[in-house]
Structure 1
Amino acid sequence: MEYADFLDETYEPDEADLVCTFRLVPGAGLSVGEAAARVASESSNGTWATLAPESDVAQYSAVACDIGPAGDHGTEVTVAYPEALFEDGSLAQVLSCIAGNILGMKAVETIRLLDCEWPAGLARSFPGPQFGSAVRSELLDAGDRPPLATVPKPKVGLSTAEHARVGYEAWVGGLDLLKDDENLTDQDFNPFERRVSESLEMRDRAESETGERKDYLVNVTAETDEMVRRAEYVADQGGSFVMVDVVTTGWSAVQTVRRRTEDLDLAIHAHRAMHAALDRLPQHGVSMRCLAQFARLAGVDHIHTGTAGLGKLENEDTAGINEWLRGEFHGLRDVLPVASGGLHPGIVDDLLAALGTDVMVQAGGGVHGHPNGTEAGARALRAAVEAHVDGESLESRAETVPELATALEKWGTETPR
């Protein structure tokens, strides 16, 4: 087959096709159409040499079928892939096709996978989330407000006793969840099993004192078999959540953990560490929208998606990604988006105005950096969120919540960097 066989702008994608939108800048000497044809060829069944196949393989060829106008970072092109190209339930195989060799081809100067439209059959071959946004009421007592989480700061270096104490103070201050950060796993200064058992003991104490369900997002990130063992340990200790660094562990590992957590009744909190290696440059890589899609297929229950520009990290269409995670997707459960990174009580109102209240809000320094300590910082964050849900201004709520007043005096409404 010639490269030209992979370009057909008259083709209308079939409902069983996986339809991918890319943005590309063609390599030297190639038109956009020629580059798009090479993308379709390389990501399905083409090659640089002319072949005379013994069987008809055209039915398994991807087709570049739409070329849009040029933009700031390239031209959008659509490639339709027949569903027969893909192995059901294997994210690794699917992504090797649609985000594999093509990212390094000379035929494109830059290329970015922007979005995917998933056929029902392929999407339903994945489990999707076990709980999704239902964790708010099934595992926690958040009700209609955003669940609230915090990472102890500094995120590594605390002893087990210090870590558990910070968790207790955050829980009794009104937060729902303690969370490990991406690089806290099983270090000598805070060993995994001791941290889990002691932190959950403090959780039980906080639940008894507050009358609210509390829990702990335990980072089980490790080699795949060890992640499963750690998830089992969390369940044995009475925890309801595990956390996985989904990009660094890989999607197949996430799928393995998801299969085991089905039996353990554990929800999966997805941290996106390393995502920016794929999505930060607007002209190349894989978009956060697509990473969120992969995570939903693999079966996570919540995933960090950004703060709509209000925190310390770069963001890419956070509101749009969140809307997709909450929307209908071939019968799979939804995913609860997580806003995190540089948040504090003074910017919660703007955050929730931009993203809505169907999110999890996670603050670290914006809780523990409170002048009166972690418990006061937790009370300030809870008050700020409840004020928004109740339609009350932060300033008004601060008149009756001194911890919030102190937080506003310290941080105002400025976004950290």
Structure 2
Amino acid sequence: MTGIAYEDFLDTSYEPADTDLVCEFYLEPAAGMDIEAAASRVASESSNGTWAELQVDEFVDLSATACGIDGNRVTVAYPDALFEPGNMPQVLSCIAGNIMGMKAVERIRLLDCLWPAPLATSFPGPQFGSRVRDELFDAGDRPILATVPKPKVGLPTEEHARIGYEAWTGGIDLLKDDENLTDQSFNPFDDRLTASLAERDRAVEETGEPKSYLVNITDETAAMLERVDRAAAEGCEYVMVDVVTAGWGAVQTVRDACEDHGIAIHAHRAMHAAFDRIENHGVSMRVIAQIARLCGVDQIHTGTADLGKLENEDTVGINEWLSSDLHGLADVLPVASGGLHPGLVPELIERVGTNVCIQAGGGIHGHPDGTHAGATALRQAVDATVAGIDIAEYAADRPELAAAIDRWGTETPR
């Protein structure tokens, strides 16, 4: 008989190997169980343990080790051989799978991961990352800018494209579908793609600036691949994927297809809060962003550093990780979005820097003079901030920015 007792998965003297995937968890043990017992069960369940003694003569030891305990924070090291290279669903089934529902823990949250070179480099990482600012837009020192036509669903194709033209010519770089606009009857995918790109081309000719379109291809995987091909054939530089709802395996497949066409992936994080909003349970946005980078997205929403309408979780720290060295993999461009308007731009850039994409919806289309003026106001606020000029001073002879400040001030919406 061969087996491993729960206590065999706990060794606080263990020093993780360079090839180990090291994960940090927040744990609240179940009633009647101490943190050591809970930690050992997490390491067991997420690797090769079970609750019963086994009738097995031989097996490969793939045990994880709970190697650090600091209050409710537990560090678990996983051996490299536990993971199939380049298979994100399998990795997550280990480190964020059954353990999320174990009776041994009242609450458990995957806080952070330290990705070793063998596992990290088995994934492709981003094709472009933040290089899109220079290679697609020649944006210089400023953030690139994006907008979603509002309302985000319900606009007919022609109106969607018209709003895109108004935004592009006002100074926006990217028109973006929102998370729940795909191929509905009121605005079919193919019609929207061709109509929007025609308006993009008109805007490029008028402004002399590069412009692009984040068309939402989210669907089951085969349909997404068809939409990648369609977007590429029409000359679109991007596709957008709702990465959490589509699933990480599908994202990996789309990443391969996008590389074949040389187009970038914009990641919308819809549904992320189902995993990360409760502070003591689930999976942190930091880890979700890490997974997205490994799977190969080029830009992803990471929040507004508490300035917008949505809950945020360490936006600055996540953005810093997305730009950090990861065994040679490209970085990811963070996207700040959700309740932004021109009056928030100076504080936002102070908090998150300029190597970002700033996206505003209502803060553009809700401008009293319409979408074109709203886009102009956002661009003016960015240009002023990057130049070190107070936006109120800059607005003195720029009526679009003045009207935006008059309407919204510097208040954060809810």
With structure 1 as the length reference, what TM-score do the two structures score? 0.98
Partner of 1:252: 249
Structure 2 Cα separation of the partners of residues 188 and 155 of structure 1: 14
Structure 2 Cα separation of the partners of residues 52 and 4 of structure 1: 19
Query: 1:398, CA displacement in angstroms?
Result: 0.5
Structure 2: stretches of 5+ with no match in the other structure: none
1:81-101: per-residue Cα shift (whole Å, max 9, x none)?
A: 000000000000000000000
Q: Is the 1:342–1:364 contact (alpha carbons within 8 Å) kept by the matching residues of 2?
A: yes
Q: After TM superposition, where is structure 1 displaced by more than 6 Å over at least 4 residues in a row?
A: none
Partner of 2:40: 37
Query: 1:51, CA displacement in angstroms?
Result: 2.4
Q: Is the 1:288–1:316 contact (alpha carbons within 8 Å) kept by the matching residues of 2?
A: yes
Amino acid at match of 2:17: D
Structure 2 Cα separation of the partners of residues 145 and 52 of structure 1: 63
Amino acid at match of 2:5: E
Partner of 1:72: none
Structure 1 Cα separation of the partners of residues 325 and 383 of structure 2: 28
Partner of 1:62: 64
Q: Is the 1:43–1:97 contact (alpha carbons within 8 Å) kept by the matching residues of 2?
A: yes
Q: Is the 1:306–1:338 contact (alpha carbons within 8 Å) kept by the matching residues of 2?
A: yes
Q: Does 1:206 align with 2:203?
A: yes
Structure 2 Cα separation of the partners of residues 255 and 336 of structure 1: 18
Partner of 2:49: 46
Amino acid at match of 2:77: A
Query: 1:137, CA displacement in angstroms?
Result: 1.3
Query: 1:55, CA displacement in angstroms?
Result: 1.9
Partner of 2:411: 414
1:197-236: per-residue Cα shift (whole Å, max 9, x none)?
A: 0000000000000000000000000010000100110110
Q: Does 1:171 align with 2:168?
A: yes
Q: Matches of residues 10-409 of structure 1 in structure 2 within 5 Å?
A: 10-57=13-60, 59-69=61-71, 75-409=72-406
Partner of 1:4: 7
Structure 1 Cα separation of the partners of residues 386 and 217 of structure 2: 33
Amino acid at match of 1:290: V
Structure 1 Cα separation of the partners of residues 383 and 100 of structure 2: 45
Cα RMSD over matched residues?
A: 0.7
1:106-159: per-residue Cα shift (whole Å, max 9, x none)?
A: 000000000000110100000000000000111113222100000000000000
Structure 2 Cα separation of the partners of residues 261 and 400 of structure 1: 44
1:335-369: per-residue Cα shift (whole Å, max 9, x none)?
A: 00000000000011111111111110000000000
Structure 2 Cα separation of the partners of residues 400 and 213 of structure 1: 26
Q: Is the 1:142–1:176 contact (alpha carbons within 8 Å) kept by the matching residues of 2?
A: no
Q: Secondary structure at the match of 2:68?
A: strand
Amino acid at match of 2:66: A
Structure 2 Cα separation of the partners of residues 143 and 52 of structure 1: 65
Structure 1 Cα separation of the partners of residues 138 and 183 of structure 2: 30
Query: 1:401, CA displacement in angstroms?
Result: 1.4
Structure 1 Cα separation of the partners of residues 36 and 374 of structure 2: 55
Give aligned-pair identity as a percent.
68
Query: 1:400, CA displacement in angstroms?
Result: 2.4
Query: 1:325, CA displacement in angstroms?
Result: 0.2
Q: Is the 1:20–1:116 contact (alpha carbons within 8 Å) kept by the matching residues of 2?
A: yes
Query: 1:28, CA displacement in angstroms?
Result: 1.6
Query: 1:56, CA displacement in angstroms?
Result: 4.9
Amino acid at match of 2:225: V
Query: 1:399, CA displacement in angstroms?
Result: 1.1
Amino acid at match of 1:185: T
Amino acid at match of 1:38: R
Structure 2 Cα separation of the partners of residues 347 and 119 of structure 1: 38
With structure 2 as the length reference, what TM-score do the two structures score? 0.99
